[in-house]
Structure 1
Amino acid sequence: MALAEIPLCVWRKRGQTFIFRGQHIRYWTAGQGEPLLLIHGFPTASWDWHCLWPPLAQRYRVIACDMLGFGDSAKPTQHDYSLLEQADLQQALLAHLQVADPVHVLAHDYGDSVAQELLARHHETRIELASCVFLNGGLFPETHRALLVQKLLLSPLGWMIGRAFNRDALVKSFRHVFGPHSGPSESEMDDFWSLVESNRGPRIMHKLIGYIPERRAQRDRWVAAMQRNEVPMRVIDGEADPISGGHMVERYRQLIPNPDTVVLPGIGHYPQIEAPAQVLKHYLEFRDNCVLLPRKVACS
């Protein structure tokens, strides 16, 4: 089943803006019903969800933003970017939209780490989550296999690597992480690059990449939150992903009690783009069987 896509030019016109800590953040919302927060990955933006957006909006109130430093949102150069701040941003967006109900989360890549922080905050009674589904991402630092460009961005020369990053470098990276038969078209690559390049994004890529050591610092806290089984969770993972593919799922099954995992053979790092119909099927199946677990109150 092919899903209708939303062209980037149309997507951009539908966006709105709110201010977060003095910075302009672009966000999108559609549909009615239970709130579903979509959290994108690195180095792209919320347009990653454009194939899933229409069918999800038929069932839920879908919400997404380009996080600080991504897509068409502000990309300040003198800023220390943090996954914890991105979680603050998600909560600020929900408050801006006056979302009071428990929130369902669907996340990918960098967004998985933001979702893990929200899970930890759920335990700390700072937000109430109803469910969480992870697509390919570095849930465990010990299984994350960084690309060469990511390692270079983390190096002392990262600022130079970021400034030299161009469309050809993005194409090379994407060819490595997508499945062998599900790579993006040239037109899609133009759109992805447009979002990376927007607001002179390459200047701050070396700052955004700080999420990799931040994941290591938060690893035990985040994994403990997942192990509590307070929130229904599922992993939908492209197995062919060299960064966070089948090997990450195996680690998830080792660490998480009663793991709910779906593996997509032949699909790479971006399943919501490479195989959106399969992701939609498995996500809706999860939601149809999702039972909100009793809330446990954190004790000190």
Structure 2
Amino acid sequence: MNDTVQFFSFQGRSVAWNVQGEGLPIVLIHGTPFSSHVWHRILPWLARQYRVYTFDLLGYGQSEKGKDVSLGVQSRLLSALFEHWKLDHPAVVAHDFGGATALRGWLLEGLRYSELTLIDPVVLSPWGSPFVTHVRKHESAFSGMPAYAHQALLSAYIRGASSQGLSDSMLKPYLTPWLGKVGQEAFYAQIAQMDSRFTEEVENRLNEIECPTTILWGEEDAWLPFEQGKRLVNLILGARLIPVPNAGHLVQEDAPEAIIAAILDVSKPQESEQLNSPQTLSKENPSILKSQAKK
């Protein structure tokens, strides 16, 4: 598979992206404070059957930091990438802020998807943890704190997204983009730009989503409670809700097999080959996804 990162210029700003695999197109959209790395345990399996597009949202991962990194600009970026990639009705998988970006893409940018999978998406108000609310009020104080204090705070914050726990080696790729002077300032800047008006713009139009929609939600999500998933499924016509036991907000790390099963529908034979069932992935060989991620 092609691991080479490519760059796309959006309004004069650099956006990192990658494509792997062959088949029907599928676009993976990460959330905050993550990057496209969040798909590292999912992508190898999807690339067996799809042409998989990943990218870092503006201000995240290897994409350019600074300036506008709000939800308002991310859906416009998504639209520009669809045009650059020449995509027509791809499947879309979106997590956290990526969920809001995908929904805004459909409702405000006129994008269309063959199917939509939302994973603990930021959609319904209220959202934003007490930490986020506090940072928004005191951005300058946080952005100027000593580097060691920032790293400790950042580590604790990201670890809170997983109910299973993140080892130091698992945590490192999530920390790295936000370290150093530029990274630290960018981390608190993206929090300061979080604004519920960007989700409120589409919240009352969710019944206009007309593609098959699946919602996965970690039952132990400490950032966005599972009850939000129960509300959301009733607002999107024909949507189905899949609770993910023993998973927090970061389902990609806590239960990647649940996402793979939902997308690939591995309980049914595939045309090319029979993939393992999610039960096989998690019980008979629980290390298989970890070994894939290390490649």
- Whether TM exceeds 0.5 here: the answer is yes
CA shift, 1:242, in A, is 1.6
Aligned mates of 1:46, 1:72 — CA distance in 2: 9
Aligned counterpart in structure 2 of residue 87 of structure 1, from 54, 60, 75: 75
Which TM-score applies when normalising by structure 2?
0.82
2:264 equivalent to 1:284: yes
The residue that corresponds to 1:107 in the other structure is 94
Aligned mates of 2:7, 2:180 — CA distance in 1: 15
CA shift, 1:210, in A, is 4.6
Aligned mates of 1:68, 1:85 — CA distance in 2: 8
SS at the partner of 1:192? helix
Which letter maps to 1:98? K
Greater RCO between the two (CA within 8 Å, min separation 6)? 1
SS at the partner of 2:264? helix
Which TM-score applies when normalising by structure 1?
0.80
SS at the partner of 2:194? helix
Does the Cα contact within 8 Å between 1:159 and 1:205 map onto a contact in 2?
no
- Structure 1 residues 171, 205: CA separation in 2 closer, same or farther (over 3 Å shift)? closer
Does the Cα contact within 8 Å between 1:25 and 1:67 map onto a contact in 2?
yes
How much is the aligned-residue C-alpha RMSD, in angstroms?
2.4
Aligned mates of 1:263, 1:149 — CA distance in 2: 26
2:9 equivalent to 1:19: yes
Does the Cα contact within 8 Å between 2:107 and 2:209 map onto a contact in 1?
no
Q: How does 1:228-267 map to 2 (within 5 A)?
A: 228-267=208-247
2:36 equivalent to 1:46: yes
The residue that corresponds to 1:147 in the other structure is 129
- Structure 1 residues 141, 193: CA separation in 2 closer, same or farther (over 3 Å shift)? same
Aligned mates of 1:287, 1:89 — CA distance in 2: 35
Aligned counterpart in structure 2 of residue 160 of structure 1, from 141, 152, 156: 141
2:118 equivalent to 1:130: no
- Structure 1 residues 212, 23: CA separation in 2 closer, same or farther (over 3 Å shift)? closer
2:153 equivalent to 1:169: yes
Aligned counterpart in structure 2 of residue 58 of structure 1, from 48, 53, 65: 48
- Structure 1 residues 216, 185: CA separation in 2 closer, same or farther (over 3 Å shift)? same
Which letter maps to 1:150? V
Aligned mates of 1:226, 1:34 — CA distance in 2: 26
Does the Cα contact within 8 Å between 1:267 and 1:275 map onto a contact in 2?
yes
Aligned mates of 2:43, 2:77 — CA distance in 1: 21
**Sequence identity of aligned pairs in percent?**
25
Where in structure 2 are there 5+ consecutive unaligned residues? Answer: 269-295
The residue that corresponds to 1:71 in the other structure is 61
Aligned mates of 2:101, 2:267 — CA distance in 1: 21
Moved more, 277-286 or 183-192: 277-286
Aligned mates of 1:241, 1:202 — CA distance in 2: 25
2:172 equivalent to 1:190: yes
Deviations 1:241-295 (A, max 9, x none): 122231111212443344300001120011012111121012222998xxxxxxx
Aligned mates of 1:94, 1:44 — CA distance in 2: 21
Q: How many residues align?
A: 265
- Structure 1 residues 97, 119: CA separation in 2 closer, same or farther (over 3 Å shift)? closer
CA shift, 1:211, in A, is 5.2
CA shift, 1:151, in A, is 1.3
